[in-house]
Chains A and B, each alone.
Chain A
Amino acid sequence: MREYPDEFYIGWQSEAADGIAERVRQFIFAVCLIVPVIGVVVVLNQGGFSESAFEYGKVTVIEGVFTNTPAPFLQILRGKDVQGQAIYQNILLVAPGKHGIQEMLKELETALGHALEARMVKMKGFLIYHNGKTLMEVEEMMDIMDTGVAIEVPPLPTQYGQGSVIGEITDPKCLFGVMKPGYGKPHRSCAARCIAGGIPPVLKTLSADGDVQYYLLAGEQGEMINDEVLPYVGDQVAVCGNIRKVGDWMILYKDSEKEMMLLSDGLAEGLGMCR
């Protein structure tokens, strides 16, 4: 390599000395190689993103029976099974932003002068869906009970099991489509914001086989427990309670006498906490 012992660099001069310019060119060449390589390495070592969808801007109108317990659902009759039992799809309802539907519902019920529970309603909004679960970000809702629409009363929740369930608490709106990823540490604050805003919390569980299951969390009597779960959002926790099936959703009615437990405090204790 050539040596340039007495070269001196002055930035405001138009040209840099030969040796200095050569060294800078070498540096830039190295950076030109490193920068794209880092980009490639970072991208290819991400965990990937779910195929969930949020149809923002694409308005969907659906009709069904509204229920607010244990979570705000629009229940839609999808047909009958081989035994002639009605099959319902439950669409979980959320409001725009990081809010549950409570305020919107309260305003409409006040305007109508009666509750919407078990009434036929029409919803206009944007669908959110993933892994067989569907939500709607509601833009507008209307009571159509008095328009002569036929109504079939959906079945009550059916008992499914009892015990402790281990998983991560997050908000279903982000998890099923609005955000990618809608879980994990980077999403913790957002999930806390959504749950604090009234969106029902969901427990996402992952079996050893990689099967994912989702449980909406409610109190023992179906009441909201959003404030109670806030300190545990984004963490792996064990929750003890009754599991019931409402349409195509599992609801975990948390045992009011058993505190939720962080999994980092002990897996065995978490698994055995319901005994």
Chain B
Amino acid sequence: MSVNYAPILWNRQKKIYDRVMLALMAAYLIVFICLQVIAFPAITIETLIIRATGTLAFLMLHIILCIGPLARIDKRFLPLLYNRRHLGVTMCCVALIHGVFNIVQFHALGNTDPIVSLFTANKNYQSFARFPFEVLGFFSLIILLLMASTSHDFWLKNLSPKVWKTLHMMVYFAYAMLVGHVMLGVIQLEKSPVLIAVTGIGMMTVIGLHVWTAIKTGKTGKADEIGKTRQLGTVRISDIIASPVSPVSPASPTSPAFYRVCRVDEIPENRAKTVMINGQNIAIFKYNNKLSAINNLCRHQNGPLGEGKIIDGCITCPWHGYQYLPHTGQSPPPFTEKVETYDVDLIDGWVYVNPNPYPEGTERPPRVINSIVTRLTAIADAYERVS
């Protein structure tokens, strides 16, 4: 978190991350270049640079794309996600070297502008096998450059997390084009089944991890959808739309806009239950015998606040550690991030929430958990232990 924009906010873990990344890149380049020179001493320096940087960037992109789903499958991979943008920007720089060398090598010093040549030297756009694969690489590089140049929090803030995230989801389009770039380019020359297999394994790993994550998050139901019935054992949700719950006792919410969410003891201490009601993504936190509800999306990168934890009295986002006070939805001073807050209630041990949001940063008094319910729960726990 930062108050002002700075090029990079270094901390110990970012430094370790970058050192490991650079060491691995150096290891790959040393192995690739040394072996290349030993096995194929006739190779030119230009081809060596083009192939070393091209394969390294493609490998790095695979690792980048695998980190997201890995972190969803197992939260212990979150440190890999934490500084992923450094990995992305570095990968883009490597890809840029590859791209520039290719354009100079194959298109410069001719009778046409190199960029024009890139689009016109091979005009077989109507043919799959003869398709100008360089064009796919060029557009992928443009996307990667766009992403790298907007990766800073300055752009995240100014473009809004939603637009920024949408822009950065284009990495999947870039990846698809790069697979085409490789398969319709160098693989057509080398024709090695091993190289085809390696590319295929990489592609299947990326796709497989994303499918696995989709299935896993679907089954665990990151955010329960209130008013819809979940079928046990499947990820399918029926389309039955229920009405808001009505007040059931004098102590119940006076407004019919409240929705029943779960039993209070289903929410672990300092953790949240997330629900999706009428399009509102809400995280209800339990802490210090109180309940508070805020919007589930972190203002930094739309991280899932409901998967975070209350640390030092603040809701802490699991992605990059951005923090919010649970009763106001505001980051503690001097930080300025704010999220919407919601009214929450507790009746007979059931947690209710009103999905009508208050403006970002509006203070809402936490709902104190009924002491009788707490005592009864404690007694029940004690009885269970004794028996």
Contact = CB atoms under 8 A, between A and B. Distances in A.
B216 interface: no
Interface stretch (B218-226, B314-322, B338-346, B365-373): B314-322
B243 interface: no
A11 B13 contact: yes
B80 A43 contact: no
Interface stretch (B104-112, B153-161, B167-175, B289-297): B104-112
Contacts of B198: 38, 41-42
Nearest to B40: A49
The interface residues of chain B, by DSSP majority, are classed as helix
A41 B199 CA distance: 11
Interface string B53-79: 001000100010000001000111111
B352 interface: no
A43 B39 CA distance: 8
Interface residues of B, number: 71
A20 B83 CA distance: 15
A39 B194 contact: no
Interface stretch (B181-189, B207-215, B326-334, B375-383): B181-189
Contacts of B194: 41, 45
Nearest to A177: B44
B47 A180 contact: yes
A123 B188 CA distance: 39
Interface in A168-227: 179-181, 184-190, 192-194, 196-198
Nearest to A189: B121
A28 B20 contact: yes
A11 B320 contact: yes
B78 to A, nearest CB: 4
A188 B105 CA distance: 12
Nearest to A26: B76
B115 interface: no
Interface string B16-40: 0000100010011001100110011
B14 interface: yes
A40 B43 contact: no
A266 interface: no
Interface stretch (A2-10, A72-80, A105-113, A246-254): A2-10
Given A31-B63, A32-B24, A45-B190, A16 B79 contact: yes
Contact of B186 (A98, A186, A231): A186
Interface in A1-33: 4, 7-16, 19-24, 27-28, 31-32
B151 interface: no
A20 B9 CA distance: 22
Interface in A37-94: 38-52
Contacts of A189: 106-107, 117-118, 121-122, 132, 134
Given A44-B35, A190-B105, A190-B107, 13 more contacts: A9-B76, A9-B82, A20-B78, A24-B80, A31-B24, A39-B31, A41-B194, A45-B192, A97-B109, A185-B189, A193-B111, A197-B111, A233-B122
24 contacts: A11-B14, A16-B79, A21-B79, A23-B76, A32-B24, A35-B28, A36-B27, A39-B31, A42-B32, A42-B198, A45-B192, A46-B192, A47-B189, A49-B42, A50-B42, A97-B110, A189-B122, A193-B117, A196-B110, A196-B112, A196-B121, A197-B110, A197-B111, A231-B123
Interface of B: 1, 9, 11-14, 20, 24, 27-28, 31-32, 35-36, 39-40, 42-44, 46-47, 51, 55, 59, 63, 70, 74-80, 82-83, 105-112, 117-118, 121-123, 129-130, 132-134, 184-186, 188-192, 194-195, 198, 308-309, 311, 316, 318, 320-321
Interface of A: 4, 7-16, 19-24, 27-28, 31-32, 35-36, 38-52, 96-99, 179-181, 184-190, 192-194, 196-198, 231, 233-235, 264
